[in-house]
Chains A and B, each alone.
Chain A
Amino acid sequence: MPSAPVAEVTHRLAMRARWGPLEYVFWLAALASVFLLPGRHLILTEIAWLALFALSLDLILGYAGIISLGHAAFFGLGSYLAALMAKHAIISEPVLALLVSGLGAAILGFATSFLVLRGSDLTRLMVTLGVALIMREIANQIPEITGGADGLQGVTVAPILGLFEFDIFGHVAYAYCLTVLFVLFLLARRVVYSPFGLSLRAVKGNPLRASAISISVNARLVAIYTFAAFYAGIAGALLAQTTAFASLDVFSFERSADLLLVLIIGGTGYLYGGLIGAVIFKLMQDWIANLTPQYWQFWIGLVLVLIVLVGRERIGAWTSAARALAEPVTRRFARGPMAAASGEGLPGEGR
């Protein structure tokens, strides 16, 4: 049997990480929304930080198989750190403060990652939930720093890079959040298509075999958990900076649970799940809340039940149907015969 030419294999491996046409469409649409939907920038800002938050959860759930009901712990810490730094002018410049908030959340992520290394999904759900509850209670118990149940008032956020001042219409805020989302998305995309990212999928798929090919399973899980906490912290900091406020609900159970819902709507393990999920979730919430202000949670709940029934095989399975529908389109626009033959380069290819 002739061995495959190294060049062809190299090419095929390079195709894994190639940008698919739908990815361009997605980001061009996001860019267009900055200019074409100025009246919707407030909700789009919320979508952007929620998307980043969901991307963070996807990194641990979709790629490493760590389920969490307490991701708000990192989001909330990032949120308070950013608000406190702005309020007390410790670090006034928002971008720098954003990074520091993310790093703070990453430290918490690293410290608590050891709790999620072992155990079943159920243990992980409980442990992560517990960590978020503890964080909330800590914030509640130190009102002199956090403002307690009243929230942290009197935060003023300085202009971004000293140039762009936040406006009440959310134009600057949206451009800012979208830029941060895009940059961190690019980084995440790089990471998941790296040997490290591939090893995460191996660890998720079969930890026994992963350690049998000398992958240090625990070290990889600690690394991605810490990395994801960094992302969640930045998402929380974006919320604090764009609203100039932080309150205890940044740590709330509902926030973690909604996040899981966002990711279930969008699907896990192809990076866009959290982004698409955030768009659908926020728009649905907004639309239903306008229709029936009192009962919107009923409809959200109904949608959740339907989603789980449709995709009962696994979380996110339902989006594979949508992607299967999109595949012929992608193939048509894909460059080169190789892509047309295999359908690679799809955003969902990583699954």
Chain B
Amino acid sequence: MPVVLETVGLEKHFGGIAAVAGVSLKIEKGARHALIGPNGAGKTTVVNLLTGVLKPSSGRILLEGEDITSLEAYKRVQRGLARTFQINQLFLDLTPLETVGLAISERMGSGAQWWRLVGTNPVVVEEIVEILGRFHLTDVMYERTGNLPYGKQRLLEIALAIACRPRVLLLDEPAAGVPEDERHEILATVAALPADVSVLLIEHDMDIVFSFADRISVLVNGALFVDGAPEEVARDPRVKAVYLGESLNA
């Protein structure tokens, strides 16, 4: 399988602390790749480096073979690299309808149009309706996002990323903080993501990881510890020692 997203010796230092230390990661086309690790292992920092929120101290990031290390965040999205956030990052004063519409307009390159009114492009509207339907947001689409229940906000996080039509999708703990009875809706949505989208899932919940991933990378103290198929990782005694030991202590 061709590699769609690759990091080469990625490092990020905050002051004297190496949050990410020499991570070389390969994500294959169509992969369901999970990045796991104990708290503070640097998982979210990796995502922030990949998406351009942070600049790496050294190392390179390649998207479909092209070096995007110094590319601005919004341009990476245009190249097909979208993400969700561990902590909701939504437009609280906008409705889900407007929010998804924004993402679609931007993708189509009509987001900066100032001479036409919102909602006058039928192609955009049709896609908004389709995506909101797919993510169970139809019945709340006119409500202010800030007033939505948490589970709906999590769904909107994913819907927004999908509206960017990514080739690589980074999911940062999509079910984090969602009450038990709303979890299945989100997990079903994650499971139903288009097969040709390569997904990197950052997750704490081992049930989710092992039911979803076909490849797992374990990050410990900013460095890649183990990288392999789920069964290999599950069997690896070092992972058990580090990861489960950490969980037991926590």
- A residues apposed to B, CB below 8 Å: 1-6, 9-10, 12-14, 16-17, 190-191, 193-199, 201-202, 205-206, 208-217, 219-220, 223, 342, 351
Instruction: Give the distance in Å from the alpha carbon of A151 to the alpha carbon of B73 in the complex.
Output: 48
Q: Which of B92, B106, B133 interacts with A205 by CB under 8 Å?
A: B92
- Assign chain B's interface to a size class: 35 or more
Q: Taking CB as reference atom, which chain A residue is nearest B88?
A: A209
Check B91 against A206 for contact (C-beta < 8 Å): yes
Q: Provide the residues of chain B in CB contact with A196, threshold 8 Å.
A: 111-114
Interchain nearest-CB distance for A61 vs B (Å) = 15
Check A199 against B117 for contact (C-beta < 8 Å): no
Instruction: Give the distance in Å from the alpha carbon of A4 to the alpha carbon of B53 in the complex.
Output: 35
Please provide the chain B residues from 49 to 92 with a CB less than 8 Å away from any CB of chain A in the complex.
51, 53, 72-75, 77-78, 82-83, 85, 89-92
Q: Provide the residues of chain A in CB contact with B129, threshold 8 Å.
A: 3-6, 9
Instruction: Decide yes or no whether B116 CB sits under 8 A from chain A.
Output: yes
Q: Taking CB as reference atom, which chain B residue is nearest A213?
A: B103
- B residues apposed to A, CB below 8 Å: 51, 53, 72-75, 77-78, 82-83, 85, 89-94, 97-99, 101-103, 105-107, 110-120, 122, 125-126, 128-130, 132-133, 136, 138-139, 141-142, 160-161, 163-164
A196, A212, A215, A217 interface centre (most CB from chain B within 10 Å) = A212
Q: A1-B136, A9-B129, A206-B89 are in contact. Are A214 and B119 (CB under 8 A)?
A: no
Q: A3-B132, A202-B94 are in contact. Are A209 and B85 (CB under 8 A)?
A: yes
Q: A1-B136, A3-B130, A12-B97 are in contact. Are A211 and B73 (CB under 8 A)?
A: yes
Q: A3-B130, A10-B119, A199-B111 are in contact. Are A213 and B77 (CB under 8 A)?
A: yes
Check B116 against A201 for contact (C-beta < 8 Å): no
Check A13 against B106 for contact (C-beta < 8 Å): no
Q: Provide the residues of chain B in CB contact with A210, threshold 8 Å.
A: 74, 91
Check B126 against A6 for contact (C-beta < 8 Å): yes
Other CB < 8 Å A-B pairs besides A14-B119, A190-B115, 8 of them? A4-B129, A4-B133, A206-B89, A208-B85, A213-B82, A213-B106, A214-B107, A217-B74
Q: Provide the residues of chain A in CB contact with B138, threshold 8 Å.
A: 1-4
Instruction: Give the distance in Å from the alpha carbon of A225 to the alpha carbon of B128 in the complex.
Output: 30
Q: Provide the residues of chain B in CB contact with A217, threshold 8 Å.
A: 74
Instruction: Give the distance in Å from the alpha carbon of A210 to the alpha carbon of B89 in the complex.
Output: 9
Interchain nearest-CB distance for B166 vs A (Å) = 10
Check A195 against B77 for contact (C-beta < 8 Å): no
Q: A3-B133, A208-B53 are in contact. Are A199 and B112 (CB under 8 A)?
A: yes
